[in-house]
A and B are shown apart, each in its own frame.
Chain A
Amino acid sequence: MGEVSPKIVHTLSLLMILTSFAAVEAGNLRHATVAYLFQALLICGLLTVYSVENSALLYWAGTALVTKALLPPLFLWKATEKSQQETKPLIGFGPSSVLAILILIVMYVFTHAHASVFVQTALGSGSTPYEVGEGLISLAETNLAVAFTVFTLGIYAILTRRDAVKTVIGLCLLENGVHLSLVSLAPTMRETALAGIATEVVITVWLLLYVISGIRDRFGTTDTSQLTELHW
């Protein structure tokens, strides 16, 4: 087995957080889609790098390529044909940037202090199918920090973006965070289970965009704050 270079992992991770942030912040939905595409490709890259340690992760990279980097951007591109400008978000760029940095710091500290709670089989324990040195334990923790940051950025986008298409991009980010975190949490998971999880995300994204196209027809906008037909 080869060795994973921490430098490459750190560079890809940092780039991924930046692209995730760009996907959340870009005012033009097509730009956001492109940012998301790069983010998804970076996940494939990271998984490929990790596969030096555990060759099964190469399948994960393949799954991610189809279900993260290929199909969702395609659906998003089609969904943004009619209008590309995002509805003004609830929270603007300035506060968002501060918040994103805060999320990253909190997640980094949290995962490095409490990794043992999450990381049971991950890149560290001797009872797992592959054994690794001490250096990789911290890589597993860094990976979790990055994954949880991307996950939280996704939730943040869903909560604070008013444009329905943007909330779908948020959902995609969230699910990418999940996918990446599974590398640390459950690297021995079978491909069938993983493919099941990933496929469902793709179908959900497609269904959501289909419903949103109906919303655009009926409401004349994709602004979720206009969805006020149903009150408690």
Chain B
Amino acid sequence: MSISSAVSSNEVHSILPALVVFVPAGAGILIFLVGKLLWTRAAIAQLAAAATLAIAVSIGLAVLNGDVLICFGRQFRADELSALLLVLVAAVSFITMIYCPVYMRHLVREAGIPSTTRGRLTVFYGWLMLFIATMLWACLSNNIIMLYVAVEASTIASGLLVAFSWDRRALEAGYKYLMLLTVGITFALFGCVLVYATGSSILGGSKGLLISELKKVASSFPSTTVALASAFLIVGFGTKAGIAPFHPWLPDAHAEAPTPVSALLSGIMLKVAVYAMVRTVTLFYPNFPPVAAFVLGLGVFTMILGDLMALAQDDLKRMLAYSSVSQMGYVMLGFGLGTQLGIYAGLFHIINHALAKSLLFLAAGAVMYSSGARMLSEMGGLAKKMPITSFCFFVGALALSGMPPFNGFQSKLALFVAGAQAGAWWAVILAIATSLITLIVLVRAAKSIFWGKIPDSIPESVREAPARMCLAMLVLAVGCLAIGTYPQMLYSPLSKAAKVVQTVVTPPTDAFAKR
């Protein structure tokens, strides 16, 4: 069968998937080239992020109309699931870019970061744009080996961003980040290679590289190969997604990176890793349900461990980082249920956590920007001085804890219903209990930052964060509230994306008939 005849009726050749990756990548390279000469690196980054968002949205609209966009001989393939992640990555990146310049200038000047300001910020924006480009690439790759390459590239692109401050803590975090993630992701490579090798022995030739082709033959894989490949893929991509017990790099990296980078790491990078896992591991769901059970078990363990660790933290950003571990557990729980509703709920929670956690990190950054403090025990009484930040932090905290009328409530409710429907009552009970811990962790943090008296260590002159930082936070807060009160707007894209993923109960042939 030739490639052209294999292209199904709804697949449309388009330049957009290439553009959405090349625009931020090109901007990154341009910043490296001219950033030192001109004072425009932040402007280039912001413009590119805006253009990327526009392209991602147009891909999203085309996909919602029923098209699947392909380019480079189906190496890039934007279906409903890819498009959902693309828009999410592009949107969070763009909002973070609004926040970034003011915060970074302050960080470089005030924290006395060595070497020249200009040079360091050029490097920062250059890598940042490449980092965003690699995440978008991972969302689009239909080539299973290149999917691994893209995910690993996002580690490389963010390595120096994590170590940006170049002090003892940042260097330690950067070393652990690069070393642990590179070793961990190597297992994913083995997994991808096993899937490719087995697939191409059935499909013949380079077709075995394409995930959309592998999907058709995954049911005939030998079960030992499936067990081994799934374990490798879950450990490999799970390390990158912060799944316990492979998470130790996460709190270090997310806490020590500059705040805009933390927001991107927690908000979207973890999701891209989970996406890579879902793309590959769910190939085996219909015929090998134990794979889903393994994902579910890991998810519940991650969810509980992350929140218990968050409870013990005094460092604000570290606490948020551990909370991310826990929330990734919820996402895994949804995917581990292996039902259509479970996958729907997992995807819904990916979006909601991305918005709420980016918001919390940006608000934490605003607090650190204005007060100079980062330990919860050193803060207090900032609500009056920083009303917008305080409002935004509370929105994020309540959203993440699953309180109505915020978005987290909708996705957690969907997760609980999906769990109950699948008969996994034990997981639902544990998830509800963990939600209460999340509420305690975040409300306690919000209370110690914003209520009570301002401690002496914080100057009286402390003020609200600059307008552009507030704007970025408000956009995210409005997003949390809008999805929470009007979740219907996401029903169609989410259910379409969930249908792309294979489930435990639907045989693969049926899944294809539906598409």
Question: Could you tell me which A residues sit within 8 Å of B by CB distance?
Answer: 114, 116-122, 125, 127-129, 155, 158, 164, 167, 171, 174-175, 178, 181-182, 185-186, 188-190, 193, 196-197, 200-201, 203-204, 207-208, 210-212, 214-215, 218-219, 224, 227, 229-230, 232
Complexed CA–CA distance, A120 and B228 (Å)? 13
CB neighbours of A201 from chain B (8 A):
182
Report if B197 contacts A (CB, 8 A).
yes
Complexed CA–CA distance, A224 and B178 (Å)? 14
Most B C-beta atoms less than 10 A away, residue of A203, A207, A215: A207
Given contact pairs A118-B225, A171-B183, enumerate 17 new A-B contacts (beta carbons under 8 Å).
A120-B197, A121-B201, A125-B201, A175-B186, A178-B189, A185-B194, A186-B197, A186-B200, A188-B205, A193-B146, A196-B149, A200-B153, A204-B152, A204-B178, A218-B168, A219-B168, A230-B169
Report if B342 contacts A (CB, 8 A).
no
Complexed CA–CA distance, A174 and B228 (Å)? 19
Distance between B145 CB and nearest chain A CB, rounded to angstroms? 4
Q: From A218, which residue of chain B is reached at the shortest CB distance?
A: B168
Q: Is the CB of A204 within 8 A of B156?
A: yes
Q: Is the CB of B168 within 8 A of A211?
A: no
The contact of B186 among A178, A190, A227, A232, by CB within 8 Å, is A178
Report if B252 contacts A (CB, 8 A).
yes
Complexed CA–CA distance, A175 and B183 (Å)? 9
Report if B22 contacts A (CB, 8 A).
no
Q: Is the CB of A193 within 8 A of B209?
A: yes
Q: From A192, which residue of chain B is reached at the shortest CB distance?
A: B146
CB neighbours of B252 from chain A (8 A):
230
Can you give 28 A-B contacts (C-beta < 8 A)?
A116-B222, A120-B194, A120-B225, A121-B201, A127-B201, A167-B179, A185-B190, A186-B196, A188-B206, A189-B196, A190-B206, A190-B209, A193-B146, A196-B145, A197-B145, A197-B148, A200-B153, A204-B152, A204-B155, A208-B179, A211-B159, A211-B163, A212-B175, A214-B174, A215-B171, A215-B175, A218-B167, A232-B312
Report if B288 contacts A (CB, 8 A).
no
Distance between B422 CB and nearest chain A CB, rounded to angstroms? 30
Distance between A43 CB and nearest chain B CB, rounded to angstroms? 16
Distance between B70 CB and nearest chain A CB, rounded to angstroms? 18
Complexed CA–CA distance, A218 and B186 (Å)? 30
Q: From B182, which residue of chain A is reached at the shortest CB distance?
A: A204
Report if B326 contacts A (CB, 8 A).
no
CB neighbours of B148 from chain A (8 A):
197
Q: From B174, which residue of chain A is reached at the shortest CB distance?
A: A211
Report if B18 contacts A (CB, 8 A).
no
Most A C-beta atoms less than 10 A away, residue of B209, B248, B256: B209
Question: Could you tell me which B residues sit within 8 Å of A by CB distance?
Answer: 143, 145-146, 148-149, 152-153, 155-156, 159-160, 163, 166-169, 171-176, 178-179, 182-183, 186, 189-190, 193-194, 196-198, 200-201, 204-206, 209, 222, 224-225, 228, 248, 251-252, 255-256, 309, 312
Complexed CA–CA distance, A33 and B328 (Å)? 40
Given A193-B145, A218-B167, A230-B173, residue A174 in contact with residue B205 (CB < 8 A): no
Given A200-B149, A207-B159, A211-B163, residue A227 in contact with residue B172 (CB < 8 A): yes
Complexed CA–CA distance, A130 and B311 (Å)? 58
Distance between A120 CB and nearest chain B CB, rounded to angstroms? 4
Q: Is the CB of A214 within 8 A of B194?
A: no
Complexed CA–CA distance, A157 and B173 (Å)? 20
CB neighbours of A119 from chain B (8 A):
197
Complexed CA–CA distance, A140 and B179 (Å)? 30
Q: Is the CB of B153 within 8 A of A208?
A: no
CB neighbours of A218 from chain B (8 A):
166-168, 171
Complexed CA–CA distance, A58 and B428 (Å)? 55
CB neighbours of B209 from chain A (8 A):
190, 193
Complexed CA–CA distance, A164 and B189 (Å)? 24
Complexed CA–CA distance, A158 and B184 (Å)? 12
Most B C-beta atoms less than 10 A away, residue of A127, A128, A181, A229: A229
Distance between A160 CB and nearest chain B CB, rounded to angstroms? 14
